[in-house]
Structure 1
Amino acid sequence: MRVEKKKDVLTFYLNEDVDDYQISLIKEECIRLIDSVHPAKVILDFSEVSFVDSTGIGFVLARYKQCAANQCELVLRGLNQHHRVIFAMSGLFHLIKEEACL
Structure 2
Amino acid sequence: MDYQLQDQTLIFHFEGDFDNVAVGKVKETCAALIETHRPKLVKLDFQKVDFVDSTGIGFVLARYKQIKKYDGELVLCNLSSSQKRLFHMSGIFRIIRLEQSEVLI
- Category of TM-score, reference length = shorter chain: over 0.9
Spell out, residue by residue over 1:3-59, the C-alpha distance to the aligned partner (whole angstroms, 9 max, x if none): 011111000001110000000000000000001001110000000000000000000
Provide the identity percentage: 43
| 1:82-93 superposed matches below 5 A | 82-93=82-93
Question: Is there any run of 5+ residues in structure 2 with no aligned partner, and where?
Answer: none
Q: After TM superposition, which residue ranges in structure 1, 4 or more long, deviate above 2 angstroms?
A: none
* Length-normalised TM-score, structure 2: 0.95
Whole-angstrom CA distance in 2 between matches of 1:30 and 1:70: 15
Corresponding residue for residue 28 of structure 2: 28
User: How many pairs were matched up?
Assistant: 102
Spell out, residue by residue over 1:35-84, the C-alpha distance to the aligned partner (whole angstroms, 9 max, x if none): 10011100000000000000000000000100111211100001010110
Q: Give the Å deviation of 1:100.
A: 2.2
* Length-normalised TM-score, structure 1: 0.98
Corresponding residue for residue 94 of structure 1: 94
Corresponding residue for residue 56 of structure 2: 56
Question: Is there any run of 5+ residues in structure 1 with no aligned partner, and where?
Answer: none
In 2, are the aligned partners of 1:76 and 1:98 still within 8 Å (CA)?
yes
Secondary structure in structure 2 of the residue aligned to 1:61: helix
Secondary structure in structure 1 of the residue aligned to 2:25: helix
